[in-house]
């Protein structure tokens, strides 16, 4: 077992937010802000459920990238602002960004058509608001001109606007380039933010809340489909399987994963790495995976006994594999090695995904549940018996 250090001291830093009252808690304004992203995930899921091929799936997921990084940027800004986020000016910034997020979300369904410009302009304004607020933060030391907030506002956002003015493949190329820069800049410019001290209670809570938002979409997908259908025996069984799967998704993250993330943020001296690699990247993978699972569960409730005939009906298995691989990546970035059991479970979900085209959807769901039950049962046994975690392969971060 790779032991987790409990006494790593954080290095001296100059830029520290104001948390005079102890741990920073999520503000009511932040929770209101999250409501826009509830709608955004619903828009992405609805559009994805109507996809006809892999290209449409990829183009839909591309739209989620600016939505995700807009939320991440706002959350990091709120974390660094500390108590300021719950004052009048901080609330107005959150509401302004939320309004931009609403415009972007409304445009998702026709983002490659008549609402492309609304999507691009909404994101451009969102990023300018975040950059302006970031520059006004009362940090102790001067900030570099080239940092992720500036790159997003003056490179990524203009590319989204430019792409909106171009038809066809040119739009996809421009938006893909923008998304690539958006994703890569926090990692490439991580050193520029390494002097910042992030508040360690606020970030795990915020990103955990976003996982709850995503899981809420799976509940809506299952419950909404069931409420509008005539359920027979297989239908009720599919409903039970869908709910069980959602509970297991929650358990996999919150029972063991979330405490490990907070521990790492509190004790790892390289907090910027945890913020970028674990919170920004790994959680992006979790949320995309849950969106794929939500689509798969919606199709499961619609036709539980049918063999899949469309691509959205096949997304349950790949979504679960991506979800578990995200944990492998996160643990590698936090502690230097992935665990054998989660890596094995991810491979098992890949096998389920490969077999799914030949199986009734209800069988695929049952197999997925079996994998998650085995994983969580095994991990509970390890903890109960105080056994070391079997590691896949120690490696350097």
Q: What are phi and psi of 89, to 5 degrees?
A: -65, -40
The neighbour count for residue 349, using CB atoms within 10 Å, is: 26
pLDDT given at position 229:
87
Altogether, the residues listed in the chain come to a count of: 397
pLDDT given at position 384:
93
Answer for the pair 170, 116: CB distance below 8 angstroms, yes or no: no
Closest CA to 260 of 336, 159, 174: 336
Q: d(Cα 222, Cα 75) in Å, to the nearest integer?
A: 29
Q: d(Cα 110, Cα 321) in Å, to the nearest integer?
A: 29
The neighbour count for residue 58, using CB atoms within 10 Å, is: 12
Q: d(Cα 244, Cα 9) in Å, to the nearest integer?
A: 41
Q: d(Cα 27, Cα 365) in Å, to the nearest integer?
A: 37
Q: Which residues in the chain land under pLDDT 50?
A: 1-16, 18, 20, 140
Residue-wise DSSP of 30-76: HHHHHHHHHHHHHHHHHHHHT--SHHHHHHHHHHHHHHHHHHHHHHH
pLDDT given at position 256:
83
pLDDT given at position 397:
52
User: Over 264-304, what HEC string results?
Assistant: HHHHCCCHHHHHHHHHHHHHHHHHHHHHHHHHHHHHHHHCC
Scanning the structure block, which residue is given the tokens 């929770």?
Answer: 31
pLDDT given at position 18:
47
Could you give the count of Cα atoms lying within 13 Å of 390 in the half-sphere of its Cβ?
11
What SS3 class is residue 3?
coil
């Amino acid at each position: 077992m790779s032991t987790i250090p409990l006494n790593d001291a954080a290095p001296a830093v100059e830029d520290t937010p104001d948390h005079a009252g102890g741990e920073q808690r999520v503000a009511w304004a932040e929770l209101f802000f999250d409501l826009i992203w509830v709608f955004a995930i619903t828009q992405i899921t609805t559009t994805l459920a109507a996809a006809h091929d892999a290209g449409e799936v990829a183009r839909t997921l591309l739209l989620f990238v600016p939505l995700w990084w807009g939320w991440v940027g706002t959350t990091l800004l709120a974390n660094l602002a500390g108590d300021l986020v719950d004052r009048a000016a901080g609330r107005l910034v959150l509401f302004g960004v939320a309004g931009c997020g609403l415009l972007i979300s409304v445009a998702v369904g026709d983002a490659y058509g008549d609402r492309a410009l609304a999507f691009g302009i909404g994101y451009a304004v969102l990023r300018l608001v975040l950059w302006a607020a970031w520059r006004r933060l009362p940090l102790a030391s001067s900030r570099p001109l080239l940092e992720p907030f500036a790159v997003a506002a003056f490179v990524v956002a203009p590319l989204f606007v430019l792409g909106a003015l171009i038809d066809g493949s040119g739009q996809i190329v421009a938006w893909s380039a923008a998304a690539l820069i958006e994703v890569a800049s926090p990692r490439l410019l991580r050193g520029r933010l390494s002097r910042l001290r992030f508040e360690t209670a606020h970030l795990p809570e915020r990103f955990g809340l976003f996982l709850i938002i995503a899981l809420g979409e799976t509940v809506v997908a299952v419950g909404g489909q069931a409420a509008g259908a005539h359920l027979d025996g297989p239908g009720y069984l599919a409903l039970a399987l869908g709910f069980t799967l959602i509970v297991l998704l929650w358990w996999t993250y919150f029972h063991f994963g979330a405490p490990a993330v907070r521990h790492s943020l509190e004790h790892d001296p390289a907090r910027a790495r945890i913020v970028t690699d674990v919170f920004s990247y790994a959680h992006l993978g979790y949320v995309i995976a849950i969106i794929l699972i939500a689509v798969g569960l919606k199709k499961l409730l619609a036709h539980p006994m049918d063999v899949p005939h469309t691509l959205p009906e096949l997304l349950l298995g790949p979504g679960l594999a991506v979800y578990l691989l995200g944990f492998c990546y996160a643990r590698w970035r936090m502690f230097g090695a992935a665990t054998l059991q989660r890596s094995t479970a991810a491979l098992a979900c890949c096998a389920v995904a490969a077999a799914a085209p030949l199986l009734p959807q209800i069988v695929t769901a049952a197999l997925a549940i079996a994998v998650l039950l085995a994983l969580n049962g095994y991990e509970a046994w390890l903890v109960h018996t105080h056994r070391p975690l079997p590691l896949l392969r120690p490696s350097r971060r």
